Amino acid sequence: MISGYFIHLLILIGIYFILAISLQLAVGFAGLLNLGHIAFFCIGAYTSALLALNNFPFWLCFLLAGIVAMLFGFLLSIPTSKLKGDYLALATMGFSFVIYAVALNWTSLTRGPLGLPGIPKPTLFGISFSDNFSFLILIAIIALISYLIVKKITTSPFGKVLEAVRDDELATKVLGKNTFKIKTYALGISAFFAGIAGSLYAHYITFIDPSSFTLLQLIPVLCIVIIGGLASLKGTILATIILVLLPEPLRFIGFPSSIVGPARQMIYALILLLILLYKPKGFYGKVELE
């Protein structure tokens, strides 16, 4: 029983980790304060779920979840290319509201608030990942690959251009770099990983509905990025583990679920406040939050 619960937590850590490093790429490295990240998670989850429910193989559902989310990332980068800071945050947040509204109202496709039940557990190359332990192994492999790719991107000269855009976009342009292209890549790649995290979530929970993809769901992910430290992958790992595990003891106190949910948000808010006050760069952040 305990080991089952522990495996469940590790799976959540894996999903949140992929979601958080993808947001870290956009926010921490490229300086794009994207509050619409949860929309890419939603797009990935629905793409994968709808394809799987139509008997497409998992590998295709998984890849297309990332690719479709990435295409939306590219699309979002066009109207937001000249926006920065708060304005970008508002525009991207608006995007997440639009995607939420589509998931809620396009009932012929998404079944709206009724959600999509019966999403099959993944099967890959004849291997079934129907039990939680095997699913954990799958998540661990995908999280590791995602981490290695993001690390490779951020430590390469391309990653330095991303950081240059974050620090001073105009100076980057004057050095001959096409910052629109750079930001489009950053948002697209970030959306790709959020999309695959959405796919894994859908196939793990086996049921999705629009309520899983609201702005509230973004808060813990954004907290992970800020608390771990902007532009720090090491910090993101540590913060994911802490933030996923920290509210868990609330379950054992015996509070009703109507209290546990808000209490969880309060814990995130409290940690965030303490970090901003006493450690503005987070655990291992390179950049101070402005």
Partner 1 sequence: MLKCVNLKKYFGGIKAVDGCSFEVKENTITALIGPNGSGKTTIFNLISGILKTDSGKIYFKINSDYLEITNLAPEKISNLGISRLFQQSRLFSNLTVKENLLLALDNEDTKFWKNLLGFNKINKEKEEKIKEMLNLVGMEKFEDKLVRELSYGQKRLIELVRTILNPHKFLMLDEPVAGVNPKLREKIEEILLKLKNQGETILLIEHDMNFTLKVSDWVIVMEKGKVIAEGKPEEIKTNPKVLDAYLGE
Region near partner 1 per CB under 8 A, out of 132-140, 175-183, 201-209, 210-218: 175-183
Region near partner 1 per CB under 8 A, out of 120-128, 152-160, 209-217, 234-242: 152-160
Choice from 75, 90, 140, 153 touching partner 1 (CB under 8 A): 153
Residues of this chain, 14-43, that bind partner 1 according to CB under 8 A: none
Choice from 159, 198, 210, 282 touching partner 1 (CB under 8 A): 159
- Distance in angstroms (rounded) separating the CA atoms of residues 69 and 95: 13
Region near partner 1 per CB under 8 A, out of 101-109, 170-178, 236-244, 270-278: 170-178
Choice from 11, 13, 65, 161 touching partner 1 (CB under 8 A): 161
Binding mask 58-97 for partner 1 (x = CB under 8 A): ----------------------------------------
Choice from 173, 217, 265, 284 touching partner 1 (CB under 8 A): 173
Q: Residue 9 or 153: which CB sits closer to partner 1?
A: 153
User: Does 287 sit near partner 1 (CB under 8 A)?
Assistant: yes
User: Does 174 sit near partner 1 (CB under 8 A)?
Assistant: yes
3-state secondary structure of 283: coil
Choice from 149, 238, 246, 263 touching partner 1 (CB under 8 A): 149
Instruction: For the beta carbon of residue 260, count every other beta carbon within 10 angstroms.
Output: 14
Choice from 84, 152, 251, 279 touching partner 1 (CB under 8 A): 152
Region near partner 1 per CB under 8 A, out of 70-78, 86-94, 104-112, 181-189: 181-189
Please say whether the dihedral angle defined by the alpha carbons of residues 35, 205, 5 and 14, taken in this order, is positive or negative. negative
Q: Residue 1 or 170: which CB sits closer to partner 1?
A: 170
Q: Tell me how far, at minimum, the Cβ of 108 lies from partner 1, in Å.
A: 37
What beta strand segments (E) does the chain contain? 123-124, 127-128
| Residues forming the site for partner 1 (CB under 8 A) | 149, 152-153, 156-161, 163-164, 166-168, 170-179, 181-182, 185, 231, 286-287
